[in-house]
Amino acid sequence: MKLKSEINQHIQEAFVKAGIEAEPMSVTEAGKPEFGDYQFNGAMALAKVLGKNPRQIATEIVEKIDADGMISRTEIAGPGFINLWIDSVWMGEKLQEMLHDGRLSILPKAQGVKTVVDYSSPNMAKQMHVGHLRSTIIGDTLARLFTFLGDEVIRQNHIGDWGTQFGMLIAYLETSGEDAYSSLGDLEQFYKDAKVKFDSDPVFADMAREYVVKLQGGDAHCRTLWQQFIDVSLGHCEEAYRTLDVTLTRKDVRAESSYNEMLTAVVEDLRSGTILQESDGAQCVFMEGSDVPLIIQKRDGGFLYATTDLAAIRYRTEVLGAKRISYVVDARQAGHFKQVFDAARRAGFVGEDVWLEHVSFGMMLDKSGRPFKTRDGGTVKLIDLLDEAVSRAKAMIEDRGTQEAAEVEKVARIVGIGAVKYAELSVNRESNYIFDWDKMLSFEGNTSLYLQYAYARIQSIFRKYGEKIDGDILLGDPLEARLGMMLLRFEDALNAAARESMPHYITSYLYELTTLFMKFYEQNPILKEGIPAELRESRLQLASLTARTIRKGLDMLGIQVLDRL
């Protein structure tokens, strides 16, 4: 339920009744339990405008609040804080509605927004490495989240399948043997070998350059080899997607090369829109306040990635009809996207009603704060990272010895991959972050395993109980009330995460919820002898709802839960 906006509405109504004319202001979640559940701090801000004492304003607002059973108590504190307590009977009823609703009382938007999420975007010339992880995981979370909230999501995997390096690779494929599929088994090695030959063998280098021209000219044989190469490379990516439980499929692929035919038109339309300027022989778009242009067409007539990006933007708005486009791309591209967005708007490729958003994320650094590399200076392959995660999880599970032998592999996969994804998603995406195997695969504190563990313990209670639950949800105990409050905030957390494209809002919420539940559960036995039936039923319902919220929240992150751990 949209708890916060419901409270805001009551405050707003009180404003009207009290004759206060002011911009709507929002309540905030109370910082401490003794300040209630929510607090409204607007009275102080209004004091100056209205020329009144803030406490007096607060009093006038409080007197007019008519929350229809939702708010049980109000208090004016300090200079004019309004503290609000949510009624526990009201909460109990709402919690029960959530429990009996498959979507946890979260209604899909009446008017879904057609949203393009551009993410993952691997380069077909190389194997996926750890640098692709953040885009892939953040983007997939956003796609799942937006979908759940009722938006119409179109995933776009803007794969890099065009450019000069493909000439080299095709030439190498042509000379290295007949069977393309087996020789491409290790793409990384293939690329390195090709590069070595390119640098050392002038005849081969010339051949490679020739192949670029032939490929771009549409030569059938070259296209066939190129297509084989892309198929194999994409196959590798899809293997990583499957391992990661990422929802991208082949139908989401919209390759760079697919925009080729649109590029000339993009340049022409920019020219006729008089946005284009020639500078040093190149066709450029200049932005106000910056002397570094966005180059659309090279002096030699060639197109660049800015051209492709503009074509893609156009396709997304004009053909797909997107109203929000989220680019999940690392922070180094911030300047580029600023220019592309600006050019696209001025060219009229996107209207005022389209929201362009660069969902940027920071770089991955090693422990000494340098860009993350392997010991020999190479990039860490994504698949190696994932294998490592699973094998570490497996070792811990075997060590613990609570799983059936047949289950170990499956559980290790869910736990290990979950840990990697959660570690990426739980930090603010905008900051750089320190990559550390131990931290990433740690299972303590704010990690996926902590949530999965809590979930499994709740399932254990229900296995033991095995009967139908009934009765009211009672929130007598303070911890019970806080848990109930937290459960009701789920939708607010999801909405905030979606509004700002910040997955870590979800993890923070889930961690806080789970911590509360763990405390509650330690102090308030559920099935123990001597617990009154009424209380037991109520606590079982809270436990059930907690489990469902954890499962749904993790589902937004593409992380699975387990009934036993």
Q: Does 457 bind RNA (CB under 7 A)?
A: yes
Q: Does 164 bind RNA (CB under 7 A)?
A: yes
Alpha-carbon distance of 330 to 358, in angstroms, equals 9
Work out which of 12, 96, 258, 333 binds RNA, going by CB under 7 A: 333
Whole-number Cα distances in Å, 333 to 165, 308, 327, 336: 21, 15, 10, 5
Closest residue by Cα to residue 506 from 107, 7, 145: 145
Query: What is the Cα Rg of the chain in Å?
Result: 28
* Nearer residue to RNA within complex by CB, 83 or 541: 83
> Residue 520: what are its φ and ψ, rounded to 5°?
-55, -45
Listing DSSP states for 161-198 in one string gives: --STHHHHHHHHHHHH-S-HHHHTSSHHHHHHHHHHHH
* Nearer residue to RNA within complex by CB, 83 or 153: 83
Alpha-carbon distance of 266 to 212, in angstroms, equals 23
Q: Does 478 bind RNA (CB under 7 A)?
A: no
Q: How far is the CB of 499 from RNA (least distance, A)?
A: 9
Q: Does 247 bind RNA (CB under 7 A)?
A: no
Work out which of 70, 331, 469, 535 binds RNA, going by CB under 7 A: 331
Q: How far is the CB of 553 from RNA (least distance, A)?
A: 15
Q: Interaction with RNA in 178-197: which residues (CB under 7 A)?
A: none
Q: Could you list the beta-strand ranges (E) of 70-178.
A: 71-77, 81-86, 114-118, 152-156
Work out which of 332, 366, 387, 470 binds RNA, going by CB under 7 A: 332
Work out which of 371, 378, 476, 478 binds RNA, going by CB under 7 A: 371
Q: Does 35 bind RNA (CB under 7 A)?
A: yes
Q: How far is the CB of 272 from RNA (least distance, A)?
A: 21
Q: Interaction with RNA in 524-563: which residues (CB under 7 A)?
A: 524-528, 563
Alpha-carbon distance of 27 to 36, in angstroms, equals 12
* Nearer residue to RNA within complex by CB, 176 or 277: 277
Give me the residue label for tokens 């002898």.
529
x-marked contacts with RNA along 57-76 as a string, rule CB under 7 A: --------------------
Q: Does 433 bind RNA (CB under 7 A)?
A: yes
Work out which of 2, 13, 17, 26 binds RNA, going by CB under 7 A: 26
Alpha-carbon distance of 436 to 442, in angstroms, equals 10
Residues 546 and 128: beta-carbon distance below 8 Å: no
| Kind and range of the H or E run holding 538 | helix 533-556
Q: How far is the CB of 107 from RNA (least distance, A)?
A: 21
* Nearer residue to RNA within complex by CB, 97 or 398: 398
Work out which of 496, 535, 544, 555 binds RNA, going by CB under 7 A: 496
Question: What's the longest Cα–Cα distance across the chain?
Answer: 87
Q: Interaction with RNA in 70-109: which residues (CB under 7 A)?
A: 77-79, 81, 83
Query: Could you tell me which residues come within 8 angstroms of residue 73 by beta carbon, excluding any fewer than 6 positions away?
Result: 36, 84, 85
Helix (H, G, I), strand (E, B) or coil at 361: strand
Helix (H, G, I), strand (E, B) or coil at 294: strand
Alpha-carbon distance of 322 to 146, in angstroms, equals 13
| Kind and range of the H or E run holding 218 | none
The span of 9-17, 37-45, 107-115, 176-184 binding RNA (CB under 7 A) equals: 37-45
Q: Interaction with RNA in 394-423: which residues (CB under 7 A)?
A: 396-397, 400, 402, 415
* Nearer residue to RNA within complex by CB, 15 or 521: 521
Whole-number Cα distances in Å, 205 to 174, 209, 229: 13, 6, 19
Length of the chain in terms of residues written: 565
Q: Does 259 bind RNA (CB under 7 A)?
A: no
Work out which of 2, 209, 223, 336 binds RNA, going by CB under 7 A: 336
* Nearer residue to RNA within complex by CB, 217 or 369: 369
Size of the site for RNA (CB under 7 A): 99
Q: Interaction with RNA in 115-134: which residues (CB under 7 A)?
A: 123
Q: Does 12 bind RNA (CB under 7 A)?
A: no
Q: Does 337 bind RNA (CB under 7 A)?
A: no
* Nearer residue to RNA within complex by CB, 45 or 383: 45
Q: How far is the CB of 219 from RNA (least distance, A)?
A: 19
The span of 12-20, 190-198, 241-249, 513-521 binding RNA (CB under 7 A) equals: 513-521
Tokens at residue 521, please? 């559960």
Helix (H, G, I), strand (E, B) or coil at 41: coil
Q: How far is the CB of 204 from RNA (least distance, A)?
A: 19
Tokens at residue 108, please? 């899909």
Alpha-carbon distance of 155 to 254, in angstroms, equals 9
Work out which of 195, 515, 544, 555 binds RNA, going by CB under 7 A: 515
Q: How far is the CB of 99 from RNA (least distance, A)?
A: 18
> Residue 73: what are its φ and ψ, rounded to 5°?
-155, 145
Q: How far is the CB of 141 from RNA (least distance, A)?
A: 15
Q: Does 434 bind RNA (CB under 7 A)?
A: yes
Work out which of 202, 444, 466, 532 binds RNA, going by CB under 7 A: 444
Measured in whole angstroms, the distance separating CA 554 from the mean position of its chain's CA atoms is: 12
Q: Does 30 bind RNA (CB under 7 A)?
A: yes
Q: Is the dihedral of CA 346, 351, 355, 358 positive or negative?
A: negative
Q: Interaction with RNA in 267-326: which residues (CB under 7 A)?
A: 279-282, 284, 291-293, 295, 298-299, 302, 304-305, 308
* Nearer residue to RNA within complex by CB, 96 or 508: 508
Q: How far is the CB of 179 from RNA (least distance, A)?
A: 28
Q: Does 112 bind RNA (CB under 7 A)?
A: no
x-marked contacts with RNA along 207-246 as a string, rule CB under 7 A: ----------------------------------------
Residues 63 and 13: beta-carbon distance below 8 Å: no
Q: Does 518 bind RNA (CB under 7 A)?
A: yes
Helix extents (H) in 470-523: 478-488, 490-500, 504-523
**Which amino acid would we find at residue 471?**
G
Alpha-carbon distance of 287 to 289, in angstroms, equals 6
